[in-house]
Amino acid sequence: MGDLEPITFPGGKRSKPSGTKVTFDRRELMRILELYGRKVAAGEWRDYAIAFLKDRAVFSVFRRSSEMPLYRIEKNMALRRQGAYAVVAASGLVLKRGDSLDRVLRAIDPLRVVN
């Protein structure tokens, strides 16, 4: 498998090659899960949810399962000019938008040193 192939889950339908749904590729998902793992180990986050919609892919993080998400990490290919990636707070405020996932994730992980 290459780094840019979308993640598919067993038993799930394969999307058409025309790309009807937006997904995180393997590299993007690994970067998000690395951040998630560190925040869980620190006791800040506890749960997550992933949604692959027609217009965007959303990774939501929760402090508790019963609450609203603390942050949503979104990939919206329709907003390529503004930046396909965004970090959105629970209030709906866009904390950071850009075309680099690493740069956008610094809004919620400012001390991360990128190689």
Taking CA atoms, 68 is separated from 26, 44, 53, 54, 110, in Å, by 26, 14, 19, 22, 23
Where exactly are the structural domains of the chain?
A: 26-105
Q: How high is the pLDDT of residue 15?
A: 45
Q: What is the pTM of this model?
A: 0.77
The model's pLDDT over 63-114, given as tens digits with 9 standing for 90+, comes to: 987 778 999 999 998 887 788 999 999 999 999 999 999 999 999 987 665 5
Contacts of 49 (CB under 8 A, 6+ apart): 59, 60, 62, 69
Q: Which residue did the predictor score with more confidence, 14 or 5?
A: 5
Contact by Cβ (8 Å): 56, 76: yes
The model's pLDDT over 26-77, given as tens digits with 9 standing for 90+, comes to: 999 999 999 999 999 999 999 999 999 889 999 999 998 777 899 999 999 8
